[in-house]
Structure formats: C-alpha cells, structure tokens
C-alpha cells in the first residue's frame, strides 16, 4: 500500500479564500504607486484557541518580508493591508498560527469574570512571557522578564490582573510570537505597481503628417510640435501618434482603402517598412530621429507625454521580409500570406508568423524594437491588435521590459472577445481598450461598467475608454450629430479614469461613414493627409477643455472603483457617482443618452454612497453649466436638453453650520 505523506499536524491553522488572487495566483493584480493593497482571507483552526494572522509582503528583489497584522472581520475572515512605495513587482502572502498568549489572556478574563481562582493560570502566563523573552531583542527581553517577575510575585489580585491584561504587554508579546507551528499560505501572490499615469489620463490621437499649416503639405514632427500648446490647453495628458515608420510601396493602399494607390497617395502608417528601414526607422517626410526626440521634449514642456504605436506587422518591402523570410507564413504557391479579416483585405501588410521554428530570435528582435524606442525617450506604447499574437509572447516581453523600465505603460488595442481581452490584461498590459465604443443605452452601460468595476476584473483590467478611433466611427456618432459627440465625450471622461479620442476628427464632430452600415470614415485619415479648420464653429474645443479641467480638479474622477449607479425613473437618463475614499470629493453625473430629445426625470440617490443624509440639504454645483442647486433627500428632479447641455457633472457639497449660524458647503 502506497504511503501517504502526513503534514505536520502541529500546524493547525487553515488559510483559504484569499482575495485578491487572480487565477489561483497565476497572474498579478495591478496597483499604482502609493496605492494600498487590501488583502482578505479566511483564517481559522480547530477548537477555540485565538489566532495571530499577518500579511507578509516584500518588493520582489528584496529578500526580507515585512509583516503587517491582519484584523478579524468576523466569521473567520481577516483583513490586512500594505502600501506600494516602489514601482515594479511586489509579492504578498499570509501567515497564521495559534497564539497561546492571546488564548491565555482571553480565558483569564473569563475566569476573572466568573470569580474563579487564577493562581495557576497566572503562572502559565508567566511561563509564556519568559519563553517570549528568549526570542526577543535585548531591550524587549529585559522588559518581558521584568513583567514576568511582577506577575510571579504575590501582589494583590486586582493589580496582578491589571498587569496581566495590560495592552502594552499584549503588543510586546505580539512582536515576539512563537511561530514554530505557523502555517503559510501555499502561494506567493503578486502585485505589479505602475506609475499614476497608468490609472488616470486623457489621450489625444493625432497624425503628424496632417499637422502642416498649409493644405496639401505633408506635416512633420515640427508641425506636430506647433500644435502642442493647443492640445495641452485642452487638458490632455498623452499625445498618441500612429506609427511613425517608413511606409511600404508594394501594394500601398490608396484613398478610402483602395487597393490601387496613385502616385501621390501616402499609404497607411500601419503598413510598416520600406527600403529606408523598418520598426526602428522614421518616415523621412516626418523628420529625423532628432526631430522626434525634440517632439518628445516639447511635449514634456507642455505637460504632455508622447505615446507611440507599436504594430508588429510588415509590408512586403520591410527589411524583415528579405532578411528573415522564415518569420512569415508562406502559401503553397510560395507567396507570403497577407493579412485578412474577412471580408477585409490588407494586401499591404504581412502578419508575422509566431509559430515559426525561429520563434526565439523573432521574440528577441521584437523586444529590441520596444527597447530601442524606450531608449529614445518613449515610455507609453499603444499596441495594435495584440490579440493576434500569442499571450505567452506578451507576458514574456512586457515582464522583461518592465524589469528594466518599470515606468513603461502598455495599452492593448484589442477589440475582441471578452476572455481574450481579459487574458491580455492579465498577461501584463497596463490598460485596455473596451466595449464602451458600442455601449450606448442605459442598460448596456450599467451592466458593462458594473462588470468592470465591481467584480474581480477590476483587479487586473484597467479600462481606457475611446468613443472613436481612426478605424471606428460608431453609428451613434454617425446619426447623432454634435449632441452625440458631447454625450459620448462626457461619458468616456467621467465613467473612466482613462479615456481618449481620435483628436481632430472628434473635435470637429466628423461623422460621415464610407458607406451606409460601415464604421469606416469617408476619406479616412488612415490613407490620406487631412487638412482641417480647427477653428470651425463645429469645434468642441471649449467643451473638451472644460471636461478635462473637471477631471483634473476633482480627485473622485481619478479612479474607477467607486463608480456607483443610482436610480432614475426615466430609462433615457443615466445617473452615476464617483467619490474619494474620504468623501472629500464627490461627483454625480446625470446624462441624457437620447441625442434627439429633451428628457426629464426624478433621481433616486443612494445617499450613503454620497456621504449625505435625508436630514440636511446639500448643494449640487453643475461644473459644466455653472448652475447651483439646493437639493434635499434622495429624490430630485433633472431635465436635460441634448442641443444645449446633455449632461450634468455635479459636485455635491453638504451644508455645514458654523458657530455664528453661517451656512457654507464642504
């Protein structure tokens, strides 16, 4: 009979149901610098003995653990926390043990209350204290020995009891426990700590080649830098550029994705590679490497950061095709398979074959592309179509890059199935595109954002909300006109701590599709240079500026987890709030999702979530429209005309009365 390995039965504590823990500890959770990690677990043992429970944590490159005491919540549930003070990976786990001294102390109180003789019990406590003195530091050892001597003396019982139950003694004993039979949770769990920009930021996408002052001219990095003050004044944090590399000549696309390009057609920036170079080269018409680095420096002076598009795909004339044909999939006739997403065809792009036998040097080369641009000053990458590359590649590449540069941020542009999007986030992407682009109704928005902010998903998936992209002009924007753009901007900017827009197109409410039923733009900027009148009366510049100012000035909008939906008796009105933990910043948003008609209704607010009560009035200050309303209780009336102002962004302030009977609002 096969023998069964018996664990040390003296380790009586059980640790289970640890939260947060992603896929059994396979993947890390995400936090930002300075944020608290709160950990809970079920910790219990047989019998009635008291337990000690500690949360252990350390920076992954630090050998020593730091211990933080966990507190009982009831029903054998415990909670502890620690603060993330450095970028990179932290490890955490839980340790628990039966605590003889706490058990003795608890039982002593019961015996005293019952009027029982406690002489022997006091001596048992003395033994426990003396044992701890042998484990303690020199100073604490002396203090514990003195305490044991006092308890051993024949002093009056009340004085002895007071000494035995002294909180200072309990704290001293907890510092030097007997952990001989401590149980450790079988997994070391991980948390990856990003800088604050990973959690909160507003992105503006612009094509540098469309930034020239004169119509018909090809823009440069210098032209893009000239636009920087306006973009910064609108309140954006990240300037996102499509690929800046040489564009292929073979199978170059013409206007509106035509398979035949004219002699003056500039092609798609995502068709990367030409005789001038590939992913480590710059399109000469945009400028030089020095010009690009000057753009990065100019962005910093305006409080902006440049994000670069990372698209691992090649044109037929990319150097990789000539130098490493084994990195591409060949068809039976010997030709290389170009990219397709039926019915769409991308004859100007060759996808990379990640199943090649030469996968190892391929991976190394692609990582070197990322490291090259990091060394040139880029710290944010928007990754194109990561769901068409292996999860294992991203996990390896991102973790190895972040081991050298923990401040790098990766945004996953993956509009695909939910589980694939979530797996990419688990694999290491700092932020992710979402389905917000197509969630328009109240039920759609409520259900989706409750999933993102109230389930385990929030531990690893950071949403970045985009109402449009160069590839996607949603039907809502096509048919809704200017009110639709205002609604979607306000929702993106307040539902999400991270959001972005395909900049000039959104500013000017461009909404003409290539054809009915299509989400592609007519005369898409992907295939041609655009020259726009940014001073057009259609511009949303002032509205965008105000929205971004509200985001910056109100910390409640800097995080996602506090999002809470409130009741409204009109299905076309959406109401939700965000608040800081201390309720010093509370924002309530009411949006009319009907871009055609005025809608009104009665709100049914969850006052507890807002830090309010039904006994005191409070002020609702409309940060967009400027109005100030004195509200009382849960039910309050709102009316929103989409042609004027389709959204209220309200800062709630409760009334406080001073000693001089003067009312003001916090």
413 is catalytic: yes
Residues 6+ positions from 556 with CB-CB distance below 8 Å: 562, 577, 578, 579, 580, 585, 586, 587
**∠559-563-567 over CA atoms, to 5°?**
160
CA separation for the pair 256, 290 (Å, rounded):
32
Residues 6+ positions from 98 with CB-CB distance below 8 Å: 12, 13, 45, 49, 50, 51, 52, 181
Marked catalytic residue, from 384, 507, 528, 560: 384
CA separation for the pair 438, 471 (Å, rounded):
13
Burial of 199 (0-12, 13-18, 19+ CB in 10 A): buried
Closest alpha carbon to 648 in 487, 535, 497, 505: 487
CA distances from 239 to 203, 306, 465, 509 (A): 6, 5, 15, 19
Marked catalytic residue, from 95, 223, 305, 413: 413
Helix orientation angle between 138-152 and 167-175, rounded to the nearest 10 degrees: 130
Pairing verdict, β 635-640 and 599-604: antiparallel
The Cβ of residue 492 has, within 10 Å, a number of other Cβ atoms equal to 25
Q: What stretches of 405-497 show up as alpha helix (H) in DSSP?
A: 418-427, 442-454, 475-495
CA separation for the pair 618, 613 (Å, rounded):
9
521 close to 475: Cβ distance less than 8 angstroms: no
Q: DSSP readout, 192-205?
A: EEE-GGGTSEEEEE
Which tokens hold the place of 210? 């469309």
265 is catalytic: no
CA separation for the pair 590, 622 (Å, rounded):
10
Residues 6+ positions from 570 with CB-CB distance below 8 Å: 599, 600, 601
Element (H, E) at 384: strand 380-384
Question: What Rg value do the Cα atoms of the chain yield, rounded?
Answer: 31
Active-site annotation, residues: 384, 413
């Amino acid at each position: 009979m096969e023998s069964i390995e018996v664990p040390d039965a003296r380790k009586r504590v059980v640790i289970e149901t640890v939260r947060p823990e992603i896929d059994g500890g396979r993947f890390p959770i995400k936090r930002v610098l300075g944020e608290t990690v709160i950990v809970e677990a079920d910790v219990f043992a047989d019998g009635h003995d008291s337990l000690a429970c500690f949360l252990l944590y350390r920076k992954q490159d630090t050998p020593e653990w730091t211990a933080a005491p966990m507190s009982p919540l009831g029903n054998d549930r415990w909670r502890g926390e620690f603060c993330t003070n450095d970028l990179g990976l932290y490890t955490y786990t839980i340790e628990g043990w039966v605590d003889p001294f706490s058990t003795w102390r608890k039982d002593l109180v019961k015996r005293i209350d019952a009027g029982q003789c406690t002489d022997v019990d006091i001596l048992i406590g003395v033994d426990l204290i003396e044992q701890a003195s042998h484990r303690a530091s020199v100073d604490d050892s002396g203090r514990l020995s003195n305490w044991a001597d006092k308890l051993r003396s024949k002093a009056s019982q009340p004085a002895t009891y007071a000494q035995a139950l002294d909180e200072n003694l309990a704290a001293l004993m907890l510092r030097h426990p007997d952990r001989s039979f401590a149980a450790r949770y079988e997994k070391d769990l991980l948390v990856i700590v990003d800088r604050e920009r990973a959690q909160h930021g507003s992105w503006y996408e612009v094509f540098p080649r469309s930034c020239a002052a004169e119509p018909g001219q090809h823009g440069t990095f210098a032209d893009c830098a000239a636009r920087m003050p306006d973009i910064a004044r609108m309140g954006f944090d990240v300037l996102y550029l499509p690929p800046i590399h040489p564009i292929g000549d073979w199978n170059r696309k013409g206007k509106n994705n035509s398979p035949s390009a004219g002699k003056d057609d500039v092609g798609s920036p995502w068709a990367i590679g030409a005789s001038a170079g590939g992913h480590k080269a710059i399109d000469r018409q945009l400028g030089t490497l020095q010009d690009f680095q000057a753009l990065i420096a100019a962005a910093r002076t305006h409080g902006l950061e440049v994000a670069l598009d990372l698209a691992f795909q090649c044109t037929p004339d990319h150097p990789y095709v000539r130098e490493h044909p084994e990195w591409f999939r060949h068809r039976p006739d010997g030709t290389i398979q170009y990219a397709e997403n039926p019915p769409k065809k991308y004859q100007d792009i060759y996808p990379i074959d990640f199943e090649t036998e030469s996968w190892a040097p391929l991976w190394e080369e692609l990582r070197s592309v990322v490291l090259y641009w990091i060394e040139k000053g880029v710290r944010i990458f928007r990754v194109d179509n990561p769901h068409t590359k292996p999860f294992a590649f991203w996990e390896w590449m991102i973790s190895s890059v972040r081991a050298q540069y923990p401040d790098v941020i990766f945004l996953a542009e993956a509009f695909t199935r939910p589980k694939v999007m979530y797996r990419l986030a688990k694999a290491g992407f700092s932020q992710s595109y979402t389905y917000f682009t197509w969630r328009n109704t109240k039920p759609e928005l409520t259900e989706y954002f409750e999933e993102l902010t109230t389930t385990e998903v929030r531990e690893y998936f950071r949403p970045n909300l985009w109402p449009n992209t160069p590839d996607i002009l949603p039907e809502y924007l096509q048919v809704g006109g200017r009110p639709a753009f205002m609604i979607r901007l306000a929702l993106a900017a307040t539902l999400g701590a991270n959001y972005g827009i395909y900049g000039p197109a959104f500013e000017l409410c461009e909404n003409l599709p290539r054809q009915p039923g299509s989400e592609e733009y007519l005369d898409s900027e992907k295939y041609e240079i655009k020259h726009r009148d940014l001073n057009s009366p259609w511009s949303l510049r002032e509205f965008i500026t105000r929205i971004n100012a509200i985001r910056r000035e109100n910390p409640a909008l800097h995080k996602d987890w506090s999002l809470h939906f409130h009741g409204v008796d009109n299905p076309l009105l959406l109401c939700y709030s965000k608040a800081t933990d201390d309720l010093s910043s509370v924002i309530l948003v009411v949006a009319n999702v009907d871009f055609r008609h005025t809608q009104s209704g009665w709100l049914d607010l969850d006052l507890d979530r807002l830090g309010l009560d039904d006994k005191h009035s409070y002020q609702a200050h409309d940060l967009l429209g400027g109005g100030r309303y004195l509200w009382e209780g849960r039910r309050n009336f709102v009316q929103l005309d989409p042609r004027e102002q389709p959204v209220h962004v309200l800062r709630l302030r409760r009334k406080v009365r001073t000693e001089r009977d003067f009312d003001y609002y916090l």
